[in-house]
Amino acid sequence: MEYTQTFTDVPRIDARDATPLLSVVGTSARLQGTFEIAEAITIECQVGGELTVGSRLVIGQSGVVTADVRTVDAVIHGHYEGNLIATGNVEIAATGHVMGNIQTDSLVIAKGGFFNGNVASSGAAPAAKAARSIHLLEERRASVAR
Partner 1 sequence: MLNRPTQNGFVPDPGRLSGPATLLTITGQTARMHGRFDIADSLHVECEMGGELVVGGQLVIGEKGEVNADVHTVDAIIQGSYAGNLVATGTVEITATGRVTGNIETDSLVISKGGFFNGNVLRTRAQQAGSPAVVDEERLTAAL
- DSSP SS3 for 19: coil
Q: In terms of CB distance, is 26 or 126 closer to partner 1? A: 26
Residues 49-68 that bind partner 1 (CB under 8 A): 49, 54-55, 62
* Window of 40-48, 88-96, 99-107, 126-134 that interacts with partner 1 by CB under 8 A: 40-48
Among 26, 111, 130, 145, binds partner 1 (CB under 8 A): 26
Q: In terms of CB distance, is 60 or 117 closer to partner 1? A: 60
Distances (CA, A) of 14 to 21, 31, 91, 102: 13, 27, 25, 31
The 114-120 sheet, strands edge to edge: 46-53, 64-71, 79-86, 97-103, 114-120, 139-144
Q: In terms of CB distance, is 33 or 123 closer to partner 1? A: 33
Rounded Cα distance between 77 and 79, Å, is 7
- State residue 12 phi and psi, 5-degree precision: -65, -40
* Residue 41 interacts with partner 1 (CB under 8 A): yes or no: yes
Q: In terms of CB distance, is 12 or 135 closer to partner 1? A: 12
